Structure 1
Amino acid sequence: MWKTTLYILLIPILSVGQNINFEINDLHTAQKKAKKEQKGIFIDIHTNWCKNCEWMQEEVFKTKKVSSYYNNHYINLSVDAESKLGKTLVEKYNLSIYPSYLYLNQDAEALHLATGLKSKEEFIEASKEAEDPNNQLFVLQKLVKNEKEPDIKILSNYIYTTYNAAYEDEIMLSKFLGRLNDDLLKEESIWRALKEATMHNGLHSESLHYIVKHSNVIESEHGIKDIIQTINAAASISMQPYVEEKNIKGWEKLMSYLNTSLGKQGTTLNLAYNPTFYINIQDFETAYNKMSEGVKTLHDRDPEVRAYLYRNWAWDIYHYYDDQEKLSTALEWVDNSLDVHYNSINLETKSGILLKLKSYEKAKMTALEAIELAKKEKVHPTLAYSVLEKLNTTK
């Protein structure tokens, strides 16, 4: 009997250990306890209708690694954004994204802000940033606002931290861009800040224009892949509302703006993202026509850019089309891309196209080659394995 009783008594203890301890619901009590225990204060600000908030509470806060770290380092509060305290915090710190994570010192002064969906590793990293004055959003904000010409490294840290939290500061971003030069662009911390602002602001942003106009310097120091990934993220942000509304006129207006403001480079962005937009609104014929127009236009462009776009379009053809003529054209595109980038993702794309063209033996050999190359590249060739699996079922 005593064993059963002991087991029952242990259940709540074990449960608490597997969750962030949100036992306090007012800031004054949290502040007193934080001072007594020499801990910081963490506030999770959420809403009842926020799916990301629910996911964080169930999938991240309850993991042993996260709960242990936060219970050892913080006094934790869980606050509904629509409660009295929540409304006060939302107004005071100008919050608009949920979940929001506020980090305060023992005097209840805000040090740092993070937002959005995060893995357990990213969530712990956010708390470590909150403990480092070089990364604390509100500490950096005071530093840059109190100086007429703030140190460029402090300013770059502020820009990165601000846009990483989707907090935005257009005035300071403009000041940051105005201070940049070719030498500064070579520094990793400067490029990190510029990337973050661009990925948050989209294709129409001042920071995107800066990247495009200084792409040669950035590419020589940080690589074309980094530029492409940054612009892709910006495109995703810009494209989403037009896709949701199937707003073709609005999208075309944005593309026209890029052409006008960026010239030849704007045209390249049109070529890159027009097919994706039309695929997303399920106008597959127009999407294919945009790809074909792109191939004709790209003949005199940078081989790296051409190879990247050819591979993207070939990948799209594999995923969304069954027409044999289009698949054969896509095979030519990916072969052209392989001439520049002989890598596993190009080989995977080729194996998928060959499978759809019913060139089974070639598809198998290409998939196997992709898998071997992927081992050296330390990536997982999901499509190549899928091709082999489908080939086994066709026999």
Structure 2
Amino acid sequence: MKKITLLSFIIFNAQLSFSQIKFQKSLPDAVKQASSTKKSICIHITIPVYAKDTKSIIDQADVSSFYNKNFINYKVEMMDSVGRELINKYGVTVFPASVFIDYKQNLIFKTSTGDNTENVLNNGKTALTRKNTGIMLSTYEEKYANEKHSAKLIKNYINLRMEAGIFDNAKLIDEYVDYKTIGELNDPNEIIFILRSGAYAFGKAFNINGLNKTKTDSVFMTLPLQERIDINDRVINNTQNEAIRTKNIAMAQAAMNFTRNTWSDNYNEGSKQSQLKILNYYKAVKDTANYYPQTSYFVDQYYMRVNADSIRFQDPSILGKMQSKVPTFNQPSPSNANIPDLLNNAAWDFYILGTRNKLYLSKAFLWVKRAIDLKQNFQYYDTLAQIFYRMEFYDEALINQNKSINMAIEVGTSTNIIESLKSTGQKIKDRKL
């Protein structure tokens, strides 16, 4: 009888062992195993242990058996340093996540792990199908580089890029519309595809979509609010980034005009946000002849006029009502609580762009001084000190830098930052800043 009991205990333990996924100790180990076995890798990005536990799902016998058989597995917590690197690399936004890659670390498929056995198994099966059929971003990158282009090729390529979190597809979508007729592009699914791709504002694909503006607007408004916001952001960001890359003022103005339009009847906010776009362009391309005077006007107009009470007191109920009035396809504007930071940043931008014009340095001084009046922050005193130094008020510069250092120590700032502040202080003292 005892022998039978012992045997049952051994069998139970064998089954328990078999019901667990075998994880590699590190990603390099997983890559090495995948290279030798020709299997794909599944990176299981888990949520912290104090959150909802999903280990019971992947530890179920049928799940673990499937993943051990078909994948090399590696597990990392989302808050771990390696986990954060992988999240950034593969654009993971939903957790816990399953990220499937090949041994070259090319993305095959990424998805939420799922909350039941069927989801987890289907994720793995989808990844296997993707790899076997070549529906991978890396494969389509090669196809696009080496094969004759077609609407199908470009559409699949764009979809895989978007799935991987890559939304800079404006040039691709401009090429895509060349392969389609106007009638085909009038289809609601095609309209949504073009919208999601992030076309350049007032570029080829954007304008073709706008040929039937009433229908495009109607289709756009069927999308969820957050997706409409994301689409507008893609259009603006892609247009502005290309404008900066090519130093194309016309594209910068297109991004500016599109930004204004997204605010619909909220003209004041639309004007403010659109001006910010053109100022960011001037700063990025170092067009200081336009940047300094236009920023001076903008900061004085929108930030210096805000009263202290609106910054220091934010009634949640009032703020909630205000935000509820924001147009349904727009990003809400920064709250007044951000004004001190914006003033400091504007002053710092003037400084780092290298101006020695006393008028502009005086503007920067007034902005950061206003920021300090509104909120005490060691970084503001650091900015003020360096502006004083540029204006050749060396004693005032050193006094304010010491204030910055003492305040940083008082609030428990990191050693590296404190040492950097001290280094700046020494340079001020030695007149070598």
Provide TM-score, normalisation by structure 1: 0.49
TM-score by length of 2: 0.45
Q: Which has the larger radius of gyration?
A: 2
